[in-house]
Structure 1
Amino acid sequence: MARSRNPAFRAGLLAAATRVFGERGLGASTASIAKEAGVSTGTLFVYFESKSVLVNALYVELKTEMARVATDGLPIDAGPREQLRHMWDRWIEWSTTQPEKRRALAQLGVAEDLTDESRAATGEAYADIGALVRAIAEAGPMRAAPLALVLALMSSITDTVIDDLLLDPDPAGARSGLAFDAMWRALAG
């Protein structure tokens, strides 16, 4: 008889994997993740049949959470700049208040065993964000650039700002605002 799967255990395992991968990288063992979660390795494998399955599940979980946070409360009637600024501010807040998740996501983003299905699942979560960025870029100096390049540029700027804010917090958001303005000019002219 198969064991039933408790959603709270699954969430606990994903939280433990977030901490362990964020601290030790993807080379961390499933045993260390199980220990961090306070369960046996066998219990981990009841929920995730392999480390690869765990890596993919956590990647989808964190990327989807990040997209949800960015678009939560998005001012639909606002213009593209205000919408992008809303997402920017939410990403910055999520990343600076949960650096563990950000570190884990950075590790997961380069995992060799990410599947096409996982990438597609996160692509769906970011579809509206991609459409907004494409519309903004098409009206500016980046109009001839592939969307992947535009998104990579945005990601690099965002990561640089987050790294800076983690080292030297800026409660008033002045540096974040300056970086957003620079990114906006690069995208929209």
Structure 2
Amino acid sequence: MSRRRNPAHREALLSAAVEMIAVQGLTVSTATIAKQAGVSAGTLFNTFESKSLLVNQLYVSLKAEMGRATSGGLPAEAGPRDQLRHVWDRWVGWATGTPEKRRVLAQLDVAEDITAESRDAAHQALSGMGELLERCRAGGPMQNVPLRFVLRILSSIADATIDDLIDRPGPGSATDDPRSSAAFDAIWRALAR
């Protein structure tokens, strides 16, 4: 008979995994994560069964959080440019406001342990972003290139912008920073006519 899993343990372990992976990388031990969460190693394995399952659920959880953060309050009546700007501002805000989660997500994006099922679940969490990008690039210079390639270009611009905003913060919010606006303008020109 399996034990009931405590949702508070799950959240504590996911939070501890973010903290410890941000500092030690993906080689961090499960014992270290459990200790940081204030639970036993047995509780970790009762909750996740394996480190691989923990990192896969962390990956999906972070992607879903990022998706909620970027699409929350999306103005349905606005045009594609304004909607994309809304998503951009929320993405920059989330990434600069939670740099450790962004750093961990970057590691998980390239981790071999992340399963195809987890990548599919993450893709579903961000499906609204893909639909918006399709509307934005319709008729533009990138209309006929694979969406995956477009996403890589946009992610590269976003990463460079967010890295600079974190490394050299300005006096105001990251979304009001001229570097953020310049990066968004470059993205828009790359996507639309």
| TM bucket normalised to smaller | over 0.9
User: Please, what TM-score do these two structures have when normalized by structure 1?
Assistant: 0.97
Instruction: Quote the offset at 1:26 in angstroms.
Output: 0.7
Instruction: Quote the offset at 1:79 in angstroms.
Output: 0.4
Rounded to whole Å, the distance in 2 between the matches of 1:54 and 1:138 is: 39
SS at match of 1:4: coil
Runs (4+) of structure 1 exceeding 3 A deviation are none
Counterpart of 2:178 in structure 1 is 174
Structure 1 portions without partners, runs of 5+: none
Percent sequence identity is 57
Matches within 5 A, 1:19-98: 19-98=19-98
Deviations 1:14-37, CA, capped at 9 Å, x for gaps: 000011111111111111111111
SS at match of 1:76: coil
Instruction: Quote the offset at 1:138 in angstroms.
Output: 2.4
Rounded to whole Å, the distance in 2 between the matches of 1:152 and 1:137 is: 14
Counterpart of 1:138 in structure 2 is 138
SS at match of 1:142: coil
Rounded to whole Å, the distance in 2 between the matches of 1:118 and 1:68 is: 17
Rounded to whole Å, the distance in 2 between the matches of 1:24 and 1:123 is: 27
Instruction: Quote the offset at 1:2 in angstroms.
Output: 2.8
Rounded to whole Å, the distance in 2 between the matches of 1:139 and 1:67 is: 26
Counterpart of 1:106 in structure 2 is 106
* Number of residue pairs matched by the alignment: 189
Instruction: Quote the offset at 1:169 in angstroms.
Output: 1.3
Rounded to whole Å, the distance in 1 between the matches of 2:128 and 2:165 is: 27
Query: RMSD across aligned C-alpha pairs, in angstroms?
Result: 1.0
Rounded to whole Å, the distance in 2 between the matches of 1:169 and 1:86 is: 21
Code of the aligned partner of 1:175: R
Instruction: Quote the offset at 1:155 in angstroms.
Output: 0.5
Code of the aligned partner of 1:68: R
Structure 2 portions without partners, runs of 5+: none
Code of the aligned partner of 2:42: G
